[in-house]
Amino acid sequence: MVNDTVSIVAAGHTRFGRLDDTLEDLIVQVTRQALDDAAIEASDIDAVFLGHFNSGLVPDGFPASLVLQADPALRFKPATRCENACASGSAAIQAGINAIRSGAAELVLVVGAEKMTANTTAQVTRALGGAGYQNDPEEAGLSFPQLFGIAANQYRDRYQSPMAAMAAIAAKNHANAMANPLAQMHKAMTFEHCNTVSESNPLIASPLRLSDCSLITDGAAAIILASPQRARAFRREVLIRGSSQVNDVLPIAQRDILAFEGPQRAIHAALRQAGVTLIDLNFAEVHDCFTIAELLIYEAMGLAPKGEGHRALDDGIVQAGGRLPVNLSGGLKAKGHPVGATGVSMHAMAFHQLTGNPIGLAAPDAEFGLLFNMGGMAVANYATVLQARRA
């Protein structure tokens, strides 16, 4: 075992959805949950990292110290906000891992939070659009639904229509979310509904339908990271066996967006670091901001050749009960996508899965899980391989 392996030893998670809570409320709730779950005092925490995108979604422009509102003993702890678009939560986790590996901390609290639903859909779309390239008038004018719609059209032109596969992904993730009490959407959607443009499933950005798009969400999640020296004292422990960050250039005009090179590099670097392959994995949580993204991630993982991601669905590999179920939580598509919280949520959900207390659907006797969180159009890419501690 790598002697500098950082571990997750506790987690907290709010319900995702349209919530009355303020950003501060959400941060405080999950901080207290994580401290209670770890059965430690706030004074034991050495450093705090907050994943939070914002981009005008809330007026709180300096939120890192809002974590300190959870407990007086957190006052004067170093607290830092991390931002990397929709991967802000994973950026905060990576900062926490690095703090422990450097010797600067032994116990780190990581919180991810976002408050989005106080804004209109147009306002959220505009705020998220700021994560695209702004120095090219053509790209600056594109929303993320439009960007991923371009990807779906390019996929059709290069390979085959991805629309049926995208509908199958949406139906799968909504079915999975039905078992997750923290998910935003508890509404099953049939393949036929997801695969048909209708009054209840309109086009958002052709060819993307409403059912192909993730949700505008409020929510927060938290985890506590521990050094190898401290981790064994906790009643539960999940090892971070591999972690990788890969950033690509921002302008889509400078790259092949279907290649998903950043995700592919990040995922396989984390697998190599962990010393495992896809065969060893028991589940994966991946960044399905749009259903075409999950399809491209299958191919980046190596579950199917380029242009044939549908095979992972057709063969049942990624379904609940399959060889490598993907997004048992419901994913961003149905669990919800509070931007800064998403990466931390993936880790919190996986922590529960790997400690035998899954929130929602279980991957029986799971030992290894892969997590992939992405900022922008495959720009900021974070992959993690987690391993359950075996006594």
The token pair at 174 is 């909504």
Give the per-residue pLDDT at 2.
44
Domain annotation covers residue 279: no
Q: Is residue 131 part of a domain?
A: no
At residue 176, the pLDDT reads 98
> 64 lies in a domain?
yes
Domain-located, residue 99 = yes
Partners of 224 in the beta sheet?
A: 10, 109
- CA–CA dist 66, 369 (Å, integer): 31
How many whole angstroms separate alpha carbon 376 and alpha carbon 207?
A: 19
pLDDT score of 3 = 52
Q: Residue 22: exposed, middle, or buried by beta-carbon count in 10 A (0-12, 13-18, 19+)?
A: middle
Q: Do the domain assignments include residue 39?
A: yes
Residue 20 lies in a domain: yes
- Length of the chain in terms of residues written: 391
Which candidate, 52, 66, 64, places its Cα nearest to that of 114? 52
Overall average pLDDT of the 177-185 stretch: 98
Q: What is the pLDDT of residue 391?
A: 64
**Does 207 sit behind a cis peptide bond, omega within 30 degrees of 0 on the bond before it?**
yes
Q: How many domains are there within the chain?
A: 1
Among 268, 287, 310, 337, the active-site one is: 337
**pLDDT score recorded for residue 127:** 96
In a domain, 125, yes or no: no
Whether residue 1 has pLDDT greater than 70 = no
Q: What is the CATH number of the domain that holds 41?
A: 3.40.47.10
pLDDT the model gives residue 55: 94
With a cut of 90, say whether residue 15 has pLDDT above it. yes
Strands 238-247 and 7-13, by their bridges, are antiparallel
Average pLDDT over residues 56-67: 96
> Given 86, 194, 213, 289, which residue is catalytic?
86
Residue 93 has pLDDT above 90, yes or no: yes
Is 86 labeled as catalytic in the residue annotation? yes
pLDDT of residue 4: 75
Look at residue 84 in the predicted model and tell me its pLDDT.
98
**Whole-angstrom Cα distance, residue 373 to residue 159?**
25
Is it the case that residue 275 has pLDDT exceeding 80?
A: yes
- Mean pLDDT (whole number) for 195-213: 98
Residue 71 maps to a domain: yes
pLDDT of residue 390: 74
Q: Which residues contact 81 (CB under 8 A, 6 or more apart)?
A: 49, 50, 51, 52, 62, 63, 64
Q: State how far the Cα of 32 lies from the Cα of 38, in Å rounded to an integer.
A: 10
What's the pLDDT tens digit per position in 222-253? 999 999 999 999 999 999 999 999 999 999 99
- Separation CA 9–CA 227 (nearest Å): 10
Which residues, at least 6 apart from 311, have a Cβ–Cβ distance to it below 8 Å?
303, 304, 305, 317
pLDDT, tens digit, 9 for 90 and up, residues 131-142 = 999 999 999 999
What does pTM read for this prediction? 0.97
Range name among 2-16, 29-43, 289-303 with the lowest pLDDT average:
2-16
pLDDT on residue 59: 95
Structure tokens at 215: 């949700």
The verdict on whether 82 is a catalytic residue reads no
Mean pLDDT for 244-267 is 98
Q: Which domain holds residue 31?
A: 7-119+216-231
Which of 87, 48, 43 shows the shortest CA–CA distance to 247? Answer: 87
Q: Fill in the amino acid letter for 190.
A: T
